[in-house]
Chain A
Amino acid sequence: MNKLLIVDDSSTMRKIIMRVLRQAEIPVETILEASNGIEALEALTANPDVNLILSDVNMPEMNGIDLVKKVRESKPKDELPIIMVTTEGGDSMREQAIQGGANGYVCKPFTPDTFSEALKPYVD
């Protein structure tokens, strides 16, 4: 069963992602929320069994790219997949995220189908 961590400074976007997960009938045991990279790292320390992170890029305190780099210091891509969910759709930002260790990239606005397709390879 999946244990997800959603990282976004917008509570609206966290709710939208949760709704899309339900619509796509992706089986989720627990969803944890964080509003920036620092909170996400704290959540991961307290919940080391998280098996997928969905993270925004542009956030206060610690952005999504720095979060990916920090997570990759201890968890490789195949152990803890990270998918960026962001309005930052430019090639340069996408490259930075993938080079930093992100597994995938979903641009907002997205349709539920686009979103669930991007998640499928990483959920049970």
Chain B
Amino acid sequence: MSTEENRAEDSVGQLNEADLLEVLKESADEVFLTMIGLVGVLVDESCDDDAVDIEKSEGERVEYEAVVSFSGQRSGAVILRAGVEGALDITRGLLMLGEEDAVEDEEIMDALGECANMLTGSLKCKALDPSGGFTLSTPNIGKSVVVDYDNHLGGLVYRLEKGCTSVEIWLDEAA
């Protein structure tokens, strides 16, 4: 293994679950404020095997999921989940639409994918892979996306304007 690869591994290895979750919080705050124009209120977080649940904490059923996978020294994924109202908050914020503007389902899916993409990109730059080498997938978006990772590292639930959303990090156990 080259010195550069060793450095990259050390850099990832030094970050524990709590550190990564803190960086995810920074990334979420930055993306929500800069691109969506919202200050997300953190209402729940977990840093263990128990996945956060927006239905349990906020009473909103998950209707949309967007997954961006990363691979490199560690493999995993960032998953953004939202109910209808949370998804509309994100879409209207990104596109600067008012409540009176109609939003197509296709626009919602694309907006959530882009939001997940920005969150994962930010996490990658800030923590996982500041020097490069990791690759990101294009977003996998749907109403029930299969997640092929077994280690739930942590998750955050945010209340937005009318709805809520959760952001989670999953890692490949084998890595």
Contacts and interface: CB of A to CB of B under 8 A. Distances in A.
Contacts of A16: 35, 94-95
Given A12-B114, A87-B121, A89-B121, A109 B132 contact: no
A49 to B, nearest CB: 29
A108 interface: yes
B107 A110 contact: no
A30 interface: no
B31 interface: yes
Main secondary structure of the interface of B (DSSP, over half): helix
Contact of B121 (A12, A86, A95): A86
Contacts of B15: none
A92 B132 contact: yes
B130 interface: yes
Nearest to B117: A87
Interface of B: 30-31, 34-35, 91, 94-96, 107, 110-111, 113-114, 117-118, 120-122, 124-125, 129-134, 136, 138-139
Interface of A: 9-13, 15-16, 19, 58-60, 86-93, 95, 107-111
